[in-house]
Structure 1
Amino acid sequence: MQDGNELTNIVTIIGKGVPANYEISVDGDIEMVDADPLEKTTIVSEHAVEGAIETGVQRFRFSGQMANVHLVDWNGVAAPESSSTPEVHIDYGVSGRKNSR
């Protein structure tokens, strides 16, 4: 039984080797998976994240639905006009992990 606080969805940001920025907002809660204190990702609120990525992968668990994803490359050119913006994958219903808040 879901109570609305389960972080059952995952959004994955994949860097393409070029510095880029992203903003993600959801209509539920969001938190970083395997948070690394060296990462420059900033959780702005319970419902939004903004950060930077160059290489590697950053994952976030969230509840509810994806509200907005905004990606820009190092020149500020937004996706899909720039091939340097990160890739984004969204998976719904992948875990039963509850939000600890």
Structure 2
Amino acid sequence: MPSERSLTNLITIVGRGVPANYEISVDGTIEMVAADPDEEAVIISEQTAEGAIETGVDRFQFSGEMANAHVVDWNGAPSPESPSTPEVNIDYGVPARSADS
């Protein structure tokens, strides 16, 4: 398991009020921030996270670089073809976040 210090990058998935799915991959290691992946129905491997979102925010810390982000709305239409797909924000070099952040 990586040290919290090595996970200095942040991915934020923002739901837009309709059911949608996402899969994000990095070339390092990824972990969910401030949530229980089992409760959130998020599947996480060492380098990939996938889940569903309707409203709210899912956050992930990661090391390395972003490799891929695939988001689709409830009909399977990908971004940017659908305005209902979740917004994906990527921030590099941010302080590690704790479960309380």
Query: How far apart are 1:13 and its partner, in Å?
Result: 0.1
Normalising by structure 1, what TM-score? 0.87
How far apart in 1 are the matches of 2:94 and 2:82? 30
SS in 1 for 2:39: coil
> Counterpart in 2 of 1:64?
64
- Where do residues 31-50 of structure 1 align in structure 2 (5 Å cutoff)? 31-36=31-36, 37-43=38-44, 45-50=45-50
- Where do residues 1-101 of structure 1 align in structure 2 (5 Å cutoff)? 6-36=6-36, 37-43=38-44, 45-96=45-96
Structure 2: runs of 5+ lacking an equivalent: none
**Displaced runs of 4+ in structure 1, greater than 6 A?**
none
Normalising by structure 2, what TM-score? 0.87
Structure 1: runs of 5+ lacking an equivalent: none
Amino acid at match of 2:84: S
CA distance 1:58–1:96, shift in 2 (3 Å): closer
CA RMSD of aligned residues (A): 1.6
Query: How far apart are 1:96 and its partner, in Å?
Result: 4.9
SS in 2 for 1:38: helix
